[in-house]
């Protein structure tokens, strides 16, 4: 029963390409998040959204944008991919009832920019 | 700003207890979490604790919180090879708000 789905597990893109990472959740959560994970740095928040068409910058938004046109879908966009954006990207969602704590994560997309 | 720190590696023998430590700086954190990440997978919530609690036990897992020192620990009793993973601590102001994660501790269990 997959609840947060990221469209690709592995992706290889060229420098300068526009890259779309898609995330869909089926739990009717209000909040969605994009993190990147790098060894020794943990997870760093890129962007998040508390509602449809709403977005907030996280700690490292430079070089990224997001789109949330529907409640269940949160897209991360790399406008012009660069090699320093090679990383594991994790999507998560949260919200709902009071007994639902923490996030539900997708399996991640490992992006390599060459 | 907020900062959450963990040691990077821990190696234990199968059957021993593991203790993974975490320190955080934001005293307004209300919720503290432990997540587990197995190879090639996303993060899985293991357990959480409210800031007004000192301890929480869940089967082989024991979470200790020292709010004065802003120190959180996760003890895994009778550690098994299946516990080998990266463990992240995280904090948030409320249970649906953004999480601030630590750097992760890679636990290796050897026979």
All residues of chain B having their beta carbon less than 8 Å from the beta carbon of residue A41 are 103
Averaged pLDDT, groups of 10, chain A, 114 residues long: 86 97 93 92 93 92 97 96 97 73 87 98
User: What pLDDT shows up at residue A2?
Assistant: 60
B36 forms beta bridges with B44, B87
Q: Which is it for strands A64-70 and A73-78: parallel, antiparallel or unpaired? A: antiparallel
| CB–CB contact A105 B101 (8 Å) | no
Closest chain B C-alpha to A33 CA, distance in angstroms: 8
| CB–CB contact A42 B35 (8 Å) | no
Q: Which is it for strands B18-24 and B71-76: parallel, antiparallel or unpaired? A: antiparallel
User: What pLDDT shows up at residue B75?
Assistant: 97
Question: By C-alpha distance, which of A45, A92, A53, A68 is closest to B96?
Answer: A92
User: What pLDDT shows up at residue B51?
Assistant: 87
Q: Which is it for strands B105-110 and B9-13: parallel, antiparallel or unpaired? A: parallel
User: What pLDDT shows up at residue B108?
Assistant: 97
User: What pLDDT shows up at residue B106?
Assistant: 95
E strands, A19-79, are 19-21, 23-25, 31-38, 42-49, 56-57, 64-70, 73-78
- Give me the residues of A, 20-49, that contact B with CB < 8 A: 30-31, 33, 35, 40-45, 48
B55 forms beta bridges with B64
Express each pLDDT in A33-51 by its tens digit: 999 999 888 899 999 999 9
Residues of chain B with pLDDT below 70 are: 1-2, 95-96
Tokens of A83: 């090699």
3-class DSSP assignment, residue B60? coil
- How many beta-carbon pairs under 8 angstroms link A with B? 63
Q: What is the DSSP letter of B54?
A: S
């Amino acid at each position: 029963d997959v609840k947060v789905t990221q469209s690709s597990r592995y992706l290889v893109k060229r420098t300068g390409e526009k890259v779309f990472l898609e995330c869909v959740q089926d739990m009717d959560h209000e909040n969605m998040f994009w993190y990147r994970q790098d060894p020794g740095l943990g997870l760093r928040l890129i962007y998040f959204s508390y509602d449809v068409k709403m977005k907030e910058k996280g700690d490292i938004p430079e070089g990224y944008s997001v789109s949330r046109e529907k409640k269940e879908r949160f897209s991360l966009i790399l406008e012009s991919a660069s090699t320093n954006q090679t990383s594991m990207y994790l999507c998560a969602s949260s919200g709902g009832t009071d007994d639902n704590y923490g996030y539900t994560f997708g399996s991640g997309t490992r992006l390599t920019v060459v | 700003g907020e900062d959450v720190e963990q040691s990077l590696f821990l190696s234990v023998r199968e059957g021993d207890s593991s203790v993974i430590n975490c320190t955080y700086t934001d005293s307004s954190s209300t919720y503290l979490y432990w997540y587990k990440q197995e190879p090639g997978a996303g993060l899985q919530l293991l357990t959480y604790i409210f800031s007004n609690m000192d301890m929480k036990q869940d089967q082989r897992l024991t979470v200790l919180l020292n709010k004065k020192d802003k120190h959180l620990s996760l003890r895994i009793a009778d550690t098994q090879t299946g516990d080998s993973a990266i463990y992240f601590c995280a904090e948030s102001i409320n249970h649906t708000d953004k999480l601030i994660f630590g750097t992760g501790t890679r636990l290796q269990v050897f026979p």
